[in-house]
Amino acid sequence: MDRSDVDWRGYWSALPTPFTPDGSADEDALRALVDLYVRQGVHGLLFNGSTGEWVAQTGAERRRLAEVAVEAVAGRVPLAVGVTSPRLDEACALAAHAERAGADAVLAAPAPGLRPTPAELRAYYEEVFSASGLPAWLYNFPQDAATNVTPGQLRELVELPNVVAVKQSTPDVREFLATVEAVGERAVVFGHMLSRLGLALIEAGYGGDGHFGSGMLLGARQPEFFERAWKGDRDGALAIVETHDALMERLRGDASDGYNWRYGGMQASLKAAMNVLGQPGGAPRRPKLPITDPAALDAIRESLRAAELEVVA
């Protein structure tokens, strides 16, 4: 397989996993969230990536919730299921289950906490992805996995039989561009494309296929950025970029650790914003903590209002 076997591009949302305040998985909220994002025009979905808090779930929960997500999507957009795990046997079992459940793809980051050598990393991906016949995403997120997969390593890994795409989440723009250069002819490459840089790449035909975002706080405007860029509506696309960048600057701050946001953890911050917009964000699961400080919640509301979003809670 290679990029010619799929037609993935545009804005894909990394779904948060809604939990109740007591920590239970909220299946109805997950279904409602999937339906909302599909109705807002998302081009694809990822379940149980970093945004999905997979680390707080048991293997049985991950399998059950993947089934719920597949059911809710009902083939309307492509759905990738994250199968990352520090345990090789569990990652393989999750990949095999994703195929049985009806997912369209699997995605895996390097096993967190293991700091693999290049040989170990290749062996890990060979075994995990061979457990399924689905197209596969390589996921580089060094801020989370503590392992940076270099463009040179990605060039080798995209030669694995069912790898067709790379989710490049490094904060280093140079590394994203080097990834496009290294693997873009063979694999789909997603990175920080909802940006001025992304628009320039689309206009130039340079490469880069799409953007994975955590949730969809701007709703239909996020996939609309790509629709406008593909049609040559530069001004319309730039207006969305400016709104998106301003909102994320207010919510993330300097994000000095490359992960958590200004007012709390990444997942907790996203869910707090979703909840005040009336979206089914739910709560994070411990040890992640919800944002309860009234001043922080007021600041989140003001950030959303500044992006011309209707706050309902």
Dist CA 99 CA 60 (whole Å): 16
DSSP letters spanning 55-82? GGS-HHHHHHHHHHHHHHHTTSS-EEEE
Cβ atoms of 18 and 30 closer than 8 Å: yes
Cα dist from 304 to 13, 307, 308, whole Å: 18, 5, 7
User: Which amino acid, 267?
Assistant: Q
Angle of helix 234-252 relative to helix 221-231, nearest 10 degrees?
Answer: 150
Whole-number pLDDT of residue 256: 62
Residues designated as active site: 139, 167
Give the burial class of 294: count Cβ atoms within 10 A of its Cβ; 0-12 exposed, 13-18 middle, 19 or more buried: exposed
Q: What domains are there in the chain, each with its CATH number?
A: 3-233 (3.20.20.70)
Dist CA 78 CA 45 (whole Å): 6
Structure tokens that stand for 89 in this block = 């046997």
Angle of helix 294-306 relative to helix 234-252, nearest 10 degrees?
Answer: 170
Whole-number pLDDT of residue 113: 85
Please list the residues that pair with 47 across neighbouring strands: 81
Whole-number pLDDT of residue 144: 84
Beta strands in the chain (DSSP E): 10-14, 44-47, 79-82, 105-108, 136-140, 163-168, 188-190, 210-214
Whole-number pLDDT of residue 158: 98
pTM of the model: 0.97
Could you report the average pLDDT of every consecutive run of 10 residues in the chain (313 residues)? 98 98 98 98 97 97 98 98 97 98 98 92 98 98 91 98 97 96 98 98 97 97 98 98 97 80 96 98 97 98 98 95
Dist CA 311 CA 177 (whole Å): 37
Dist CA 229 CA 193 (whole Å): 11
User: Which amino acid, 16?
Assistant: P
Is residue 287 reached through a cis peptide bond, with omega within 30 degrees of 0 on the bond before it?
yes
Dist CA 116 CA 113 (whole Å): 9
